[in-house]
Amino acid sequence: MQIFLSRHNLDGFLFVGDSICDSDMYYLTHFLSGDRFAFLAQEKTTLLVSSMETGRALKESTADECLSTSQYRIMEKLKRGDKPEEAYCLVLVEFLQGHGIRRLGVPFRFPAGIYQPLLQDFEVLVLESPASRCREIKRQEELDAIACAQRACERAMRQAVLLIGSSKPRGELLYRDGQPLTSEKVRAAIDVSLLEDGCEAMDTIVAGGPQAAAPHARGTGPLAANAPIVIDIFPRSKSSRYFADMTRTVLKGEAAPEVKDIYEAVRLAQAAGLLAIRAGVSGKEVHSRVSQVFLDLGYPEREGRGFTHSTGHGVGLDVHEKPSLSETGEVLQVNHVVTVEPGLYYPEMGGVRLEDLVVVKEKGSENLTHFERQLVL
């Protein structure tokens, strides 16, 4: 942090928000709060929290100092008629002045309603968060947390695959216990498994048939027989706050030859991507190799058809973070954690995607995903 501050000639860098939505704030403080607080990074670090949270912040945060808004007489400001946002901004000004701030850095996502008043008393520079680059390289405890979440992800995937595998094709739909098997029922089984493992998931994808032609469609309603079903699970551990990510595509019934061909093309493209990953190779190069496999096999990308997204992304405290495996992907470094998830999508058929989660190493990668790839159940 000191190098960052010196490079930009800053007296400090300020974050304001909650640490549930802002992963940088949690990474820097290890203080989890759904309520707004401020974090000032200088040679030492300081939290500014409400009086209600002071005791917990003192116990849980990694900050060098924890202060309360009551120390800056916020209640007096409110009683004299200042609006809550005005009172909070006045507190921030006193807080920053008390820490010798004249030239201040704030991140791109800094609240505009606070940024504007601060300009009256400070020179404020809007910069990329210094935590963003730090978060890319995972420490061993972070790698362990991600691997733990991935094991929970795989157990949930197992429940989904078993549920689909136990269904029976009847006409155009899959049935189980006399009722159509739906995306919602499979997603519920995934959610229960994750909860039992202390994880949570939002927008888990269980999309069958033409619905899967949109890579991020959640999927709704009865699942089609004889058609690929894309299952994409990206859970977060409630305790560590770290994500995992994994996708498999399965089919119950008879797979048409073109579906088998598309699945094999995706499998080969993913294998090429996994083989390409190592420290010193760019995400752009990995993506290029994956795209080339599809081209060589006769699956060119066209508008809304074929390989329509990047090869992968970083995973950590956010499910999508740096680095990227894309046309603009940066050079990979040891202990980056990235997905490799090529897919092919066609409106008339649906989609096929396979996704593994890997740790970049000096001479290759460590695959954190141990779940088999099997199309027909």
Residues 232 and 354 in one domain: yes
Give yes or no for residue 120 having a pLDDT over 90. yes
Residues 127 and 181 in one domain: no
Residues 111 and 157 in one domain: no
Q: Which helix (H) or strand (E) holds 23?
A: helix 23-29
* CATH code, 290: 3.90.230.10
- Supply the pLDDT for residue 301: 81
Residues 6+ apart with CB under 8 A from 54: 66, 67, 68
Residues 101 and 152 in one domain: no
- CB-based contact 335:143 (threshold 8 Å): yes
- Supply the pLDDT for residue 3: 86
Residue 343: name the closest of 221, 217, 222 by CA.
Answer: 217
Give yes or no for residue 82 having a pLDDT over 90. no
- Supply the pLDDT for residue 2: 82
Residues 93 and 205 in one domain: no
Task: Give the pLDDT confidence of 324-352 residue by residue, as tens digits.
Answer: 999 999 999 999 999 999 999 999 999 99
Q: Which of 112, 135, 158 is a domain's end point?
A: 135
| Any domain includes 180 | yes
The mean pLDDT of 86-101, rounded to a whole number, is: 95
Can you name the residues that pair with 239 across neighbouring β-strands? Answer: none
Q: Which of 111, 135, 159 is a domain's end point?
A: 135
Question: CA 19, CA 62: separation in Å to the nearest integer?
Answer: 13
The mean pLDDT of 346-366, rounded to a whole number, is: 97
Give yes or no for residue 231 having a pLDDT over 90. yes
Residue 229: name the closest of 296, 314, 169, 295 by CA.
Answer: 169
Residues 71 and 176 in one domain: no
| Any domain includes 30 | yes
Residues 171 and 267 in one domain: yes
Residue 68 CA, distance from chain mean position: 32
| Any domain includes 35 | yes
Locus of tokens 């606070």: 114
* pTM of the predicted model as reported, rounded to 2 decimal places: 0.94
Can you name the residues that pair with 248 across neighbouring β-strands? Answer: 231
Residues 6+ apart with CB under 8 A from 37: 16, 17, 18, 19, 25, 31, 47, 48, 49, 50, 53, 57
Mean pLDDT score of the chain: 96
Q: Which of 68, 101, 135 is a domain's end point?
A: 135
Give me the percent of the chain exceeding a pLDDT of 90: 94
| Any domain includes 231 | yes
Give yes or no for residue 78 having a pLDDT over 90. no
Beta strands in 234-355 (DSSP E): 236-237, 246-250, 312-314, 321-325, 337-340, 343-346, 350-353
Residue 219: name the closest of 176, 260, 255, 174 by CA.
Answer: 174
Give yes or no for residue 81 having a pLDDT over 80. no
Question: CA 270, CA 247: separation in Å to the nearest integer?
Answer: 12
Residues spanned by the domain of 311: 137-367
Give yes or no for residue 127 having a pLDDT over 80. yes
Amino acid identity for residue 215 in this structure: P
Give yes or no for residue 372 having a pLDDT over 80. yes
How many distinct structural domains can be found in the chain?
A: 2
Residues 228 and 360 in one domain: yes
Residue 246: name the closest of 122, 369, 92 by CA.
Answer: 369
